[in-house]
Amino acid sequence: MDEVAQELIGLLGEANVLVAKQDQAPFLTDWLGKYRGTARAVVRPGSTDEVSAVMRACAARRVPVVPQGGNTSMSGGATPDNSGQAVVISLQRLNRVRNVDPVGNTISVDAGVVLAKVQQIAQDAGRFFPLSLGAEGSCTIGGNLAANAGGVAVLRYGTMRELTLGLEVVLPDGRIWDGLTALRKDNTGYALRDLFIGSEGTLGIITGAVLKLFARPLARATAFAAVEDANAAVTLLGAIRDRCGDRLTAFEFMTGECLALILRHIHDARLPLAAMPQAAVLIELSDQNDEIALRERLESGLMECVEQGLVLDAAIAQDGTQAKAFWRIREGVSEALVREGKAAKHDVSMPVSSIADFVIAADAAVGASAPGARPIVFGHLGDGNLHYNVLPAPGQSDADFAALVPDLTRAVHDEIGQRRGSISAEHGIGQLRVSEMPIRKAPIELELMRQLKGLLDPAGLLNPGKLLPLSND
């Protein structure tokens, strides 16, 4: 057996060092089935000290390490390359909830705790943890932090960075930084915490976190509204915000093509409108007060928009079950896309005011670089974040479409560049977008990022080839 694997077995025990191909398989492919790698071992440490010991051993032997949480990355961030050199370090056994403080409004957890569990524990304590996304049943807090996850409630509560107070991190050489403070104010120098959040496992292994909790929203109102296009959706966003202010929690956009795709593949999804619209938004308000009053506020706001011709049809959920059914549609998108084919994925952000114009320009650019290809456009419109997916033309082979994708992606990202947007709003760079970094980032930004990487990980062992291009690329 490989010497490194032997040493790791000595540290973690045989049960927690996977070397057989069939045991490793689930850790070596990403959720989309786009990337596949190999590894000398997949290790499953059960404590911060064990993570530290693994890192020390790998650093001494100059072995690359790929951190992995729930393995739901949309950008190939947690999949090793094909060299077979890497050790995949799965954090799933670091799954203790360390402390809940309902008075201080914080929860302290190990990095491997699944997001849905944090939501549940917060709820059991009469509090609320707002991060919410389609993969919440399997993604982990460590992965959410490393990716700076967004999701469907960013509009009101912010991204994972804004939901975090403290971190515990194991550095590439095995040292442990205990930054697990629950302070809301701390001006004692550089924000190391924020450096690790969003670093995609390239600077350190996050082993624990202190997260913010919030008051539980006692009332929710959910609506599904038909609109003509992205332009109307942006206008509607402004109108609902004027009427509902900070109660606006989610504002999710889907085109008619996207809705049709969902209904084709997700059999328990039902459209709550009389006819298939050109586009639709899912709106959610939340509040501390009376649910009926909140629903009436949403209803009267939407009625005014119907009278103005901005909303073409709308359904308001009358109870939690109906609200869930509305969300089932939105949450089915990624699965429907995977079932349909191999989409070119873009996760872009821009000023909300640019969205309508971007969609028109991107559709035209796609038409020019991949005739017949099908844009499936949806996303967190309220955050200026669209998931601009593109499916092959009907009947086109995956290989023929794949040959067009680099040009197509370049064209979509050029449209984003012209609007001072970002080529990744929430899914990260991973492997998927790494070749774009030298094109999209200013040289000074890339240089600073490389210098920081060199300072923390001089041998380049942590998640190589992700986020930053390898220097020989």
- Look at strands 347-349 and 279-287 and give their pairing: unpaired
Site for ligand 2HG in 192-251 (CB under 6 A): none
Q: How far is the CB of 387 from ligand 2HG (least distance, A)?
A: 4
Position 133 contacts ligand FAD (CB under 6 A):
yes
Q: How far is the CB of 321 from ligand 2HG (least distance, A)?
A: 22
Contact 276, 205 (CB under 8 A): no
Q: Which residue is nearest to ligand 2HG (CB)?
A: 334
Nearest C-alpha neighbor of 294 from the set 249, 328, 331, 234: 249
Stretch that binds ligand 2HG, among 108-116, 193-201, 204-212, 333-341 (CB under 6 A): 333-341
Q: Directed axis angle between helix 230-244 and helix 355-369, to 10°?
A: 160
One of 237, 333, 373, 461 touching ligand 2HG (CB under 6 A): 333
What's the CA gap between 130 and 153, in Å, rounded? 7
Number of residues in contact with ligand 2HG under rule CB under 6 A: 9
Radius of gyration of the chain (CA): 23
- Residues 157-186, one symbol each (x = binds ligand FAD by CB under 6 A, - = not), give ------------------------------
Site for ligand FAD in 392-431 (CB under 6 A): 426-427, 430
Residue among 206 and 461 whose Cβ is closer to ligand FAD: 206
- Residues 38-77, one symbol each (x = binds ligand 2HG by CB under 6 A, - = not), give ------------------------------------x---
Residue 182, SS3? Answer: coil
One of 334, 409, 424, 463 touching ligand 2HG (CB under 6 A): 334
Q: Which residues of 29-51 are buried (b: 16+ CB within 10 A; e: fewer)?
A: bbbbebbebebbbbbbbbebebb
Q: Angle at CA 23, nearest 5°, toward 168 and 27? A: 45
Alpha helices by DSSP H, listed for 61-214, are: 115-124, 141-147, 154-157, 192-196
**For the chain, first and last CA: distance in Å?**
32
One of 48, 71, 354, 409 touching ligand FAD (CB under 6 A): 71
Stretch that binds ligand 2HG, among 89-97, 306-314, 320-328, 332-340 (CB under 6 A): 332-340
Nearest C-alpha neighbor of 128 from the set 36, 29, 218, 248: 218
Position 389 contacts ligand 2HG (CB under 6 A):
yes
Position 134 contacts ligand 2HG (CB under 6 A):
yes
Q: Which residue is nearest to ligand FAD (CB)?
A: 143
Position 433 contacts ligand 2HG (CB under 6 A):
no
Position 139 contacts ligand FAD (CB under 6 A):
yes
Residue among 86 and 337 whose Cβ is closer to ligand 2HG: 337
Q: Angle at CA 247, nearest 5°, toward 245 and 248? A: 80
Stretch that binds ligand FAD, among 18-26, 60-68, 407-415, 416-424 (CB under 6 A): 60-68
Q: Angle at CA 213, nearest 5°, toward 387 and 49? A: 90
What's the CA gap between 277 and 433, in Å, rounded? 33
Q: Which does 277 bind (CB under 5 to 8 A by kind): ligand 2HG, ligand FAD, none?
A: none
What's the CA gap between 319 and 97, in Å, rounded? 32
Give the position of tokens 């403080």. 101
One of 44, 387, 419, 466 touching ligand 2HG (CB under 6 A): 387
Q: Which does 333 bind (CB under 5 to 8 A by kind): ligand FAD, ligand 2HG, none?
A: ligand 2HG
Contact residues for ligand 2HG (CB under 6 A)? 74, 134, 333-334, 337, 345, 379, 387, 389
